[in-house]
Each structure stands twice: as C-alpha cells, then as structure tokens.
Amino acid sequence: MLVAEFIVIILCLLVGTRYGGMGLGLISGIGLFILCFVFGLQPGKPPVDVMLTILAVIGCAATLQSAGGLNVMMQFAERLLRRHPQHITLLAPLTTWTLTFLCGTGHVVYTMFPIISDIALRRGIRPERPMAVASVASQMAITASPVSVAVVSLVSILAAAHGIGEHLGILQILAVSVPASLCGVLVAALWSLRRGKDLNDDPAFQERIKDPIQREYIYGGSETLMDQRFPPAAYRATALFFIAILVVVMLGALPQLRPAFEVKGALRPLSMNLTIQMMMLIAGAAILILCKVRPGTIAEGAVFKAGMVAIFSVFGVAWMSDTFFQAHLETLKMALEGVVRDHPWSYALVLFLVSKLVNSQAAALTAVAPMGLMLGVEPKMLLAFFPAAYGYFILPTYPSDLACIGFDRSGTTRIGRFILNHSFIMPGLIGVSSACLTSWLLVQTFW
C-alpha cells in the first residue's frame, strides 16, 4: 500500500509539471483525494503559515513593480554592464543574482536577458557564456534573498519544528545561504569564461551570419533601458522596499526588538513568520500610498501572477506530501532514520530531485524538509544543503531558461540534441554543488 500511495504522488507530480505551477497545485488535489478516499489516509495539514508569508511578500513586490521600482533596479544593472562590457560573463550573473536577491523572485530578470545578449554580441563574446550562467544565477539567489518564498518557507519550517530549530532564525540562515549562493555563482561564472568556441571560430555561427537576413536579425536588434526616465515615485518605492528588507533582517537579528507574548507558560518574541508578514504588508501599503500606485495594476504584473502560481503549487504539493508522510511516519523513520542521519547528503539528493519534479524551490522544501526533520536530520543540515533546493535546471523546461534561449539571437544558448546536454546543465551543477559545499563548510565551522 505504501508503494502504491507513493506512486500516486509521483504520478501527480509528473503530470502536474506538464501544466506548470498552477497545474501542479491543482493535480496534487487529485492525489490528495485518492490518498484520502481510496487509501483511507487522514488528511495532513496545508502549510498555511508559509502560504500567508508568501502572499505578503508577493503583495509587496507586486506593488513595487507597479510603482516602477523594478525598472529602476534593472536600469542601474544595465548601466553597470554597459560600462564594463569586457567582463559581461562575470558581471551578468552577479547582476541577475543581485536583482533576485533584492526582489525575492527570479522572474524579475527577464528584461536583462536581451540586454546581456546585445552587450555580448557587440563585444564579440559568445552570448551563451554570460546568458546561461545569468539564468542559473537568478534562480540560485532565491536561497539567499530575505524576502524569497524559499527562505521564508525554511524559516517557517524551522520555527514550527517544536523548538529544535529555533536557534536558526533568518539571520543565521542568511549568514550561511548568502555567501554559499554567491560562491556557487562565482565558481559557475569562472567556469563559463571559456566555455564553447569564440564566435569567430564557431562554424555554425559563421554559417548563419552568411545569410544577410540572419545577420541583420542577430546584430540589428538592441534592447535597452538606458534612455528611459522614471518618475520620482519609482525611486521612492525602491527606497521603501530596501528599508523594509533591512528592518526584516534587523528584527531577525535582534529578537529583543520584537514584542514578547506568553506561549505555553514562557515569554517568546513574536515569530519571524508574523514579523515578515507585517513588514511586507506595511511596505506594500507605504508604496501604495506614498508612490500613488493604482491598485488595479498590482494584480496585473508578472511578479503577482508568478507569486500566486507559487502559492498554489506549494498549497497542493505540500498538503499531498504531508498527508503521505504523516500517515507512514513511523514506518519511514524505522526504514530511513539511520540512513538519513548517517548520510545527510541523501537528504540533499532527495531535495534536489524533488525540486525538479515540482519546479519550485519552496514547494520542494515544504515537501521534503519537514520529512527530513521527522527522520532525524539536524536543522543545521537542512541549512547546509539549502542550495540543493534548486534542481529544476536539469531539464531546460523552466520559464527563465526558455526565455534565455529565446532572447539569445545568436543561437548559442540552446537545448542539445540529447536534451540533457543543454546550455544550463554545467553552470547549474557547478553552481549548486559549489554552493552546497560552501554552506556545509560554513555550518561545520560555526555550529
């Protein structure tokens, strides 16, 4: 029965990924129904705290986008890249990493891809080098952003772990995840410096540009934000968003600044879940009022739509998986507890593979991390292998990777003949493995 139930979960994940994040959440409801009505399992608990935190963060980021704050950030990023075009392979991933770090979602960097491609082509650099690693970097930064869905999910999971993870607050998580993520991106970028043939030595590219129409298509277009002028409200929105992030980090670092309440006979500071929710709502309200944002435009932006999809994905997948693991907790603990405790890397491998199945770092965490805690994985090991939550680059089906391929007019960023030999596989493997090694060393050193 356990095997049959597990097959139902895997089938729902595989079918759901064919229909995107919304499909994943909806089809997980079918799996949940089968587990309850056919196999008789008691329903688990949907991750309400995680979903509400995600909702608050997305609401703030979507309001920032409506105010023009995201365009302000991207214009600064483009100015840096065009000022140093010879270093585009190193600067492009650092730029996309920073944008995701500040905004909490990798969906804000799509505008940067045509700019990166244009700069590389005009400098004679193979566009695949900066573009592929820039796409990977935009997703790796999710585990480093204080306002990302994945980070707030991990904070929520550890906070709800009946005290065993309370010492790992948001500041401790970021103190490891930020340098680890950044180190992984830098290693992947350094590897990318010499990947592939130079454009002058690439016979396939040289054959393409012999056609005048193709040459005009490749070299003729130019995307830029440099000439755009933004209203003062856009700059105010950006400043307000930065202030909110700093306040969240400060309140996480100094629990004494948070009000304390009696919980089970002991005074405890307000949880970081609720703190993040409050600060994001306040920041969104400040941007809405002080920057004169039209409320109707907030739900129309790409950030809001992507965030709602993430919430739905987390809702369905986490509820379905929690139902399965809660029903078979004792059996799984007897079978796997020793293996996972003695070989924590096996947890990282499961997290990595599940992230590909669900195409979401937050959904993978909410499905796998609670199971890891139940099986005896120490909270610090969850943090050490946090970067392994990014594994959906294995197949080039994620929107940012597909967008990156589409924006590379040279055709050097591509999907290979055998599917797995695509432009993102090596930067992804190098980046994630380097980040995991770095975070593991940091955890071993400081805890």
Question: How many whole angstroms separate alpha carbon 291 and alpha carbon 59?
Answer: 15
**Cβ-contact 293, 300 below 8 angstroms:** no
Query: Which candidate, 81, 211, 120, places its Cα nearest to that of 408?
Result: 120
pLDDT at 20: 64
End-to-end CA distance of the chain: 40
Question: How many whole angstroms separate alpha carbon 241 and alpha carbon 300?
Answer: 19
pLDDT at 18: 72
Question: How many whole angstroms separate alpha carbon 82 and alpha carbon 41?
Answer: 58
Residue 268 dihedral angles phi and psi, to the nearest 5°: -135, 145
* DSSP secondary structure of 85-110: GGGHHHHHHHHHHHHHHHHS-GGGGT
- Rg (C-alpha) for the chain, rounded Å, is 22
Torsion of CA 2, 40, 350, 158, to 10 degrees: -140
Q: How far is CA 235 from the centre of its chain?
A: 25
**Cβ-contact 298, 63 below 8 angstroms:** yes
Query: Which candidate, 436, 432, 426, places its Cα nearest to that of 194?
Result: 426
46 CB-near residues (< 8 Å, 6+ apart): 315, 318, 319, 322
Instruction: Give the number of C-alpha atoms closer than 13 A to the C-alpha of residue 117, restricted to the C-beta side.
Output: 26
Question: How many whole angstroms separate alpha carbon 357 and alpha carbon 81?
Answer: 34
pLDDT at 152: 80
Query: Which candidate, 405, 416, 397, 414, places its Cα nearest to that of 16?
Result: 397
Residue 266 dihedral angles phi and psi, to the nearest 5°: -130, 145
Q: Which 8-state DSSP code applies to residue 196?
A: S
Give me the helices (H) in 226-301, please.
232-253, 272-290, 295-298
The segments of the chain whose pLDDT lies below 70 read 17, 20-21, 50, 107-108, 160-167, 221-224, 329, 332-341, 357, 397, 399, 419
Phi-psi region of 163 (alpha: psi -120 to 50; beta: other; left: phi over 0): left
Report the predicted TM-score, pTM, of the whole model to 2 decimal places. Answer: 0.73
Q: At 183, is the secondary structure helix, strand, or coil?
A: helix
**Cβ-contact 292, 57 below 8 angstroms:** no
Question: How many whole angstroms separate alpha carbon 276 and alpha carbon 143?
Answer: 16
- The domain ranges of the chain are 2-446
Question: How many whole angstroms separate alpha carbon 65 and alpha carbon 71?
Answer: 8
pLDDT at 334: 66
User: What are the C-alpha distances in Å from 101 to residues 8, 179, 306?
Assistant: 36, 12, 16
State the greatest distance between any 2 C-alpha atoms of the chain, in Å, as a whole number.
Answer: 78
